[in-house]
């Protein structure tokens, strides 16, 4: 019985996670048949700004042959007082089978899924989860190292407000990576330490043992100004710059989900670094989203 939704990575078993990564790699080498999602109607319901995720889903949907409708932010009747449940019922009545949604409220896709008689894919909800971003990040690690298990992955920055960090922690732990979170107490409370997850305040101390460093944007729009550290302090302690790049091991890579803020979490030196993998991450996003769409509609393909 295929999964009904992808709301966060804890919706997937370890073998399903591995399957999606394998399937995405297959699609990378052999483009999928254009009829994998023939006659499947997908609505992209994005209530928050998005460049990468929105376009990547749209391309993925086209490549697997889905019928696509994008509902621009502000155009849905949710703004006229229609409830989430009524929106879900309305879309299902038109034969929509998949809703891909992004929303500033944590939990929005879960509420949508309760009333929607189809599949919901979470493309980012508040500070809660962003499962397809974490999947594409793990695909990038696999492409680089041939595995995720045993890698030391260091996530740096505004962990508290980051849905990317939260979903990555779930996925990386499930696949056996060693995870270190780095940031100031205001952006990374002690309480975020979980089994298999270490908290570190000193970035310079962890860089030499990192296989991958994931930089995160300070999510200004989700932060009360009182907890925002001064950007100068932040940059001094956590910005990846020319000096810190030299502390990395020769095989280490640097990742960022985008959008990045030059001068805050990184300097332009990072763009010239041999291990900068931002473009690969973006490219992997299309394959992983094709794999997710295919998996929700067709289940596990025996030809994978």
Q: Please give the residue ranges that form the binding site for ligand NCD (CB under 6 A).
A: 52-53, 124, 130, 133, 163-164, 217, 219, 257-258
Residue 168 token pair: 């990555």
User: Which residue from 124, 126, 127, 77 is spatially nearest to 102, judged by alpha carbons?
Assistant: 124
Nearer to ligand NCD, 36 or 213 (CB): 213
What span, in angstroms and rounded, lies between the C-alpha atoms of 120 and 132?
12
CA atoms within 13 A on the CB side of 10: 7
Nearer to ligand NCD, 25 or 161 (CB): 161
DSSP lists the bridge partners of residue 200 as 182
Nearer to ligand NCD, 118 or 257 (CB): 257
Nearer to ligand NCD, 41 or 164 (CB): 164
Q: Minimum CB separation from ligand NCD for residue 289, in Å?
A: 12
Q: Minimum CB separation from ligand NCD for residue 181, in Å?
A: 16
Torsion of CA 130, 132, 135, 136, to 10 degrees: -110
Report strand pairing: 178-182 vs 96-103: unpaired
- The answer to whether the beta carbons of residues 253 and 214 sit under 8 Å apart is no
Q: Minimum CB separation from ligand NCD for residue 167, in Å?
A: 9
Q: Minimum CB separation from ligand NCD for residue 30, in Å?
A: 26
Nearer to ligand NCD, 97 or 127 (CB): 127
Q: Minimum CB separation from ligand NCD for residue 129, in Å?
A: 9
The answer to whether the Cα torsion of 225, 228, 230, 231 is positive or negative is: negative
**How many angstroms separate the Cα of 32 from the Cα of each of 26, 67, 136, 166?**
8, 16, 17, 30
Which position has the token pair 């994978």?
304
Q: Minimum CB separation from ligand NCD for residue 52, in Å?
A: 5
Nearer to ligand NCD, 63 or 256 (CB): 256
């Amino acid at each position: 019985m295929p999964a009904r939704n992808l709301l966060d990575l804890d919706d997937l078993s370890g073998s399903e996670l591995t399957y999606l990564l394998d399937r995405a790699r297959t699609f990378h080498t052999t483009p999928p048949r254009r009829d994998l999602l023939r006659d499947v109607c997908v609505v992209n319901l994005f209530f928050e700004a998005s460049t990468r995720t929105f376009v990547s889903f749209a391309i993925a949907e086209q490549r697997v042959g889905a019928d696509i409708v994008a509902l621009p932010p502000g155009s849905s009747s949710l703004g006229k007082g229609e409830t989430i449940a009524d929106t879900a019922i309305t879309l299902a009545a038109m034969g929509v089978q998949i809703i891909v949604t992004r929303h500033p409220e944590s939990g929005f896709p879960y509420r949508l899924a309760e009333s929607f008689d189809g599949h919901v894919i979470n493309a980012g909800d508040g500070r809660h989860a962003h499962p397809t971003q974490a999947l594409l990040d793990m695909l990038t690690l696999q492409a680089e190292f041939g595995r995720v298990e045993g890698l030391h992955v260091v996530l740096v920055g505004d962990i508290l407000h980051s849905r990317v960090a939260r979903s990555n922690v779930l996925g990386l732990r499930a696949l056996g990576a060693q995870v270190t979170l780095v940031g100031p107490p205001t952006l990374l409370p002690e309480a975020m330490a979980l089994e298999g997850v270490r908290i570190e305040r000193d970035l310079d101390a962890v860089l030499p043992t990192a296989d991958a460093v994931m930089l995160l944007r300070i999510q200004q729009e989700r932060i009360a100004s009182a907890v925002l550290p001064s950007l100068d302090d932040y940059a001094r302690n956590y910005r990846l710059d020319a000096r810190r790049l030299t502390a990395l091991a020769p095989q280490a890579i640097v990742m960022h989900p985008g959008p990045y803020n030059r001068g805050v979490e990184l300097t332009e030196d990072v763009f010239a670094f041999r291990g900068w993998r931002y473009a690969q991450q973006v490219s992997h996003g299309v394959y992983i989203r094709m794999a997710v769409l295919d998996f929700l509609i067709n289940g596990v393909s025996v030809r994978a």
